[in-house]
Amino acid sequence: MRGRKKQSGDSGGISAILAELKLLLEAFDDEETTEIEFRLAGLTTMFIKAGLSSQKRMTRLKFHAAIQVMTVKVPNRGELSDEMRTFEDLVNSYGDEPSAEDLAEAKEILASVVGQLTAALHQTAGKQLGLNL
Amino acid sequence: MTRTSTTRNSDLLAGFACLLSPKDREALNDALTHAEDVIVFGSRAAEVNSKASDVDILCVGESVRRYKSDQLDLVARTPNEIAGAKWLGSELANHVLAYGIVARGASQWRDDIRLAEAAIIHKESRLLALADGLWTYWDRLHPEIRKQYLTTIRRELQRLQLLGDNIAVPPTPLLDRSWEKKIGAGPAEVWLTGIGRIRTGSMATRERLLRTADLILRNRRNTSPIASLDVSFSSATGPITSDSFGIFGGVGN
């Protein structure tokens, strides 16, 4: 039997992603930066599984790359991806612990990116369910 | 050879600028406008880069801004930061001293660089957090991302061992070559002995790191590494004891 082509951005996957984005923002104050790093890796996986980002189009499996190739309409996608890359760089603790200023800047970026992604995904989920969200 | 003490090459920057996109070039130009000291480091400075390698540049100045893209990694530090103990004792400062090429400035702070114990402790904490995270999130990660993290942890273990021996950490391609070289020439386990030195973290966390190291070794021997990672963490690692590599004395005891 022929398999049905996976729909781009199924609403079940989007709901889970929206919940995880909210958790990510809430977790930022309490958790280590490595924990945030893994949450973003988990989100990248969710984007791929939900058909929101094509793994084939990603040069690296990082969250900023997942945003860059998202199949749903996101205003200022390029800028959003750049912002996320800056965030990933700010919280990266490879060489040293991020400074308090770095973390404050990172939190601001995360809030902005999560807000914009949430709005875009709400719109997509609403269209799929025939709702005017 | 301390390359930073002998080489001053402002043309170097012009050469690297040619490799960059217009946006990256603009960011570099902006940084150069404000930087007193400029040092190129990483794989391109050591000439062990691939075509895809980014250009790593340290810029010291009051109002230099960090910038990161696929092609360019601008690390920004103020003169105050660069003279502080935190920077002078860091892993990156020691790397810059050993492998960096001075493109601009006197960079006299280089004379005060000494690896600090804090850098080793930070590396231990990072490794333990990575092992904890990988264990916790394993089932939620794409197999390719699992593979990326195993590589990250392996490299960090190599770095920890070097730092413990007071050796500046080389660019990543040299770490990878060194790891690969061990396949035919001797036990890769040698690079993982750094775990035995770790004294921070809980027993459970160190056990997770040990299991991760075991998985790294198993993965290295496997001809189909991605497929082998598409299983649960516990079944991938199986039973493991504190002396699984015959090199650990303290973990789990």
Taking only the tens place, the pLDDT of each residue in A7-18 is 444 556 788 888
- DSSP per residue over A16-65, as a string? HHHHHHHHHHHHTTTS-HHHHHHHHHHHHHHHHHTTSB-GGG-SS--HHH
Task: Give the distance from residue B81's alpha carbon to the nearest chain A alpha carbon, in angstroms.
Answer: 11
Q: Do B142 and A55 touch (CB under 8 A)?
A: yes
What Rg do the C-alpha atoms of chain A give, in angstroms?
A: 15
Q: What is the pLDDT at residue A11?
A: 58
Say how many domains are in chain A.
1
Check whether residue B107 and residue B121 sit in a common domain: no
Cross-chain Cβ contact B145/A61 below 8 Å: yes
Surface of A (22-61) touching B: CB under 8 A: 32, 34-35, 37-39, 41-42, 44-46, 48, 55, 59, 61
d(CA A53, CA A67): 7
Let me know if residue B52 belongs to a domain. Answer: yes
Same domain, B63 and B124: no
Check whether residue B163 and residue B198 sit in a common domain: yes
* Residues linked to residue B37 through DSSP beta bridges, in sequence order: B60
pLDDT > 90 fraction of chain A, expressed in percent and rounded: 20
Q: B41 in a domain, yes or no? A: yes
Integer CA distances (angstroms), B88 to A81, A108, B73, B92, B93, in order: 33, 29, 20, 9, 6
In a shared domain, residues B148 and B53 = no
Q: What pLDDT was estimated at residue B224?
A: 40
Q: Assess if residue B250 is contained within a domain.
A: no
Last residue of a domain, one of B78, B112, B146: B112
Question: Could you say which of B93, B112, B131 is where a domain stops?
Answer: B112
Host domain of residue B27: 3-112
> Counting Cβ atoms within 10 Å, is residue A54 exposed (0-12), middle (13-18) or buried (19+)?
middle
Contact A45 B92 (CB under 8 A): no
Please name the residue that has the structure tokens 């749903």.
A72
- Residue B137 burial class via C-beta count within 10 angstroms: exposed 0-12, middle 13-18, buried 19 and up: buried
In a domain, A119, yes or no: yes
Is there a domain that residue B148 lies in?
yes
Residue B124 shares a structural domain with residue B232: yes
Please give the pLDDT value at position B194.
73
Mean pLDDT of A22-37: 83
Please give the pLDDT value at position B5: 42
Is B193 among the domain residues? yes
Q: Is B137 on the interface with A (CB under 8 A)?
A: yes
Kindly state whether residues B127 and B224 are assigned to the same domain: yes
**Can you give the length of chain B in residues?**
253
Looking at the structure, do residues B121 and B233 belong to the same domain, yes or no?
Answer: yes
pLDDT in tens, A65-123: 999 888 888 888 889 999 999 899 888 866 677 888 888 899 999 999 988 888 888 87
Is B246 a domain residue? no
A6 in a structural domain: no
CA angle, corner B22, sides to B16 and B24, nearest 5? 60
> Inter-chain contact A96–B133, Cβ cutoff 8 Å?
no
Identify whether residues B92 and B195 lie together within a single domain.
no
Residue B221 has a pLDDT of 64
Residue A29 lies in a domain: yes
What pLDDT score does B253 carry?
A: 29
Specify if B213 maps to a domain: yes
Q: Test A96 with B90 for CB contact under 8 angstroms.
A: yes
Indicate which CATH number applies to the domain containing B94: 3.30.460
- Domain residues for the domain of A48 are 11-124
Asked if the C-beta of A86 comes within 8 angstroms of chain B's C-beta atoms, the answer is: yes
In the three-class reduction of DSSP (H, G, I as helix; E, B as strand; rest coil), residue B98 is classed as helix
CA distance B68 to B53: 13
**Inter-chain touch B141–A41, beta carbons under 8 Å:** yes
Q: Tell me the nearest-neighbour CA distance from B73 into chain A, angstroms.
A: 10
Do A34 and B126 lie within an 8 Å CB cutoff? Answer: yes
A37, B136: Cβ pair inside 8 Å? no
Number of domains chain B is built from: 2
Distances (CA, A) of B105 to B10, B60, B83: 10, 9, 14
pLDDT in tens, chain B (253 residues): 445 444 456 678 888 888 899 999 999 999 999 999 999 999 999 999 998 899 999 999 998 988 988 899 999 999 999 999 999 999 999 999 999 999 999 889 999 999 999 999 999 999 999 999 999 999 999 999 998 999 999 999 999 989 999 999 999 999 988 887 755 444 566 677 778 778 788 888 888 888 888 888 777 765 444 334 444 444 444 444 444 443 333 333 2
Q: Does A115 touch chain B (CB under 8 A)?
A: no
Residue B253 lies in a domain: no
Which candidate, B16, B34, B104, B31, places its Cα nearest to that of B67? B31
Q: What are phi and psi of B77, to 5 degrees?
A: -140, 145
Residue owning tokens 């309409």? A73
Residue A35 lies in a domain: yes
Report yes or no on A131 lying in a domain: no
Residues B138, B91, single domain; the answer is no
Beta-carbon count within 10 A of A112 CB = 14
pLDDT of residue A50: 87
Q: How many Å apart are CA B70 and CA B76, to the nearest integer?
A: 17
Does residue B101 sit in the same domain as residue B121?
no
Q: Which tokens belong to B232?
A: 């649960």
Closest CA to B206 of B160, B139, B148: B160
Q: How many CB atoms within 10 Å of residue B10? A: 11
Residue B213's pLDDT is 85
Of A44, A86, A93, the CB nearest to B126: A93
Note whether residue A20 is domain-resident: yes
Domain-located, residue A80: yes
Q: In chain A, which residues have their Cβ closer than 8 Å to the Cβ of B122?
A: 93, 96-97
Question: Is there a single domain that holds both residue B211 and residue B125?
Answer: yes
B220 class by beta-carbon count within 10 Å (0-12 exposed, 13-18 middle, 19+ buried): middle
The question of ipTM being above 0.85 is answered as: no
pLDDT of A41 = 94
Residues B33 and B75 occupy one common structural domain: yes
Q: Would an 8 Å CB–CB cutoff place B147 in contact with chain A?
A: no
